[in-house]
Amino acid sequence: MNASSDPEASGESEASSSPRRFNLAGILNSVDDKDEPRTWQWNDTAGKVINKRKTVYERWESILKSKGQQELSSGTTTHDDNLDQKCYHPFASQLDWEIAQWAVTEKISQKALDRLLNVPQVQQKLGLSYENSRGMLKCIDEIPERCGKWRTKQLSFRDKPGEHFTVYHRDPVEAIKALWGDPAFAEHLVYKPGKLFRGAEQTENNRIYSEMWTTGFWNAVQVCN
């Protein structure tokens, strides 16, 4: 998709970020003149590793391990009965969460789950915090958004002031922090800007705008050392 800006826009639009694989073939096939060669222009210093830090998950793991080692060395190691609940909040326990995950991933119908939970003592024996599918879904809705809260904004244009568009967006900083801190996406994220051109002649008239790293903003703010 070719990116363009419209000076007639009366509102600001914010693009939401979603995890996508770096599929160069997909980029090339998304533009016209598929048989024409494509050339890239990369900045040599962009994306250079300056230092390495632990991911969010690794930092939490080191904190918890350090806390456990301190308790062990001091002889004050105790079992926190609320630890299980804290880790799987808003669910009451790991089993509470496992049952909900099973019901959702296996696409168990709400009626079928209700029948299971209505079997005498099933809910009590398992120690579930919810008594029916509605209660389970309520717990799921209370799970914090990992990429920030969704927000809405109305967008209109001067040539059609009576026509309104609803834009759903998130705080891009929170979204980027969540995506970059997830090891599952480590091999699929692009950290440096690049310019994609149609044909061998690398001129602005032949430039193709597709993914975020091919746009003007990333290339404009790149600092060359």
Rg (CA), the chain: 25
Burial readout 128-157 (b: 16 or more C-beta within 10 A, e: otherwise): bbbebbeebbebbeeeeeebbeeeeeeeee
208 and 159, same domain (yes or no): yes
* Percent above pLDDT 90 for the chain: 25
Q: How confident is the model at residue 142 (pLDDT cuts 50, 70, 90)?
A: confident
128 and 151, same domain (yes or no): no
Q: Is residue 5 part of a domain?
A: no
Number of structural domains in the chain: 2
Tens of pLDDT along 65-123? 665 555 556 555 444 555 555 678 888 888 999 999 999 999 999 999 999 999 999 98
205 and 162, same domain (yes or no): yes
Report the predicted TM-score, pTM, of the whole model to 2 decimal places: 0.41
Q: Is residue 116 part of a domain?
A: yes
Q: Is residue 35 part of a domain?
A: yes
Provide the mean pLDDT of the chain: 76
Tens of pLDDT along 39-52? 988 877 776 777 77
**By residue range, what is the domain housing residue 31?**
24-48+147-221
Please enumerate in sequence order all residues whose Cβ is within 8 A of that of 118, keeping only pairs 6 or more positions apart, or say none.
132
169 and 204, same domain (yes or no): yes
At residue 225, the pLDDT reads: 45
Give bridge partners of residue 183 from the DSSP assignment.
none
Q: Is residue 189 part of a domain?
A: yes
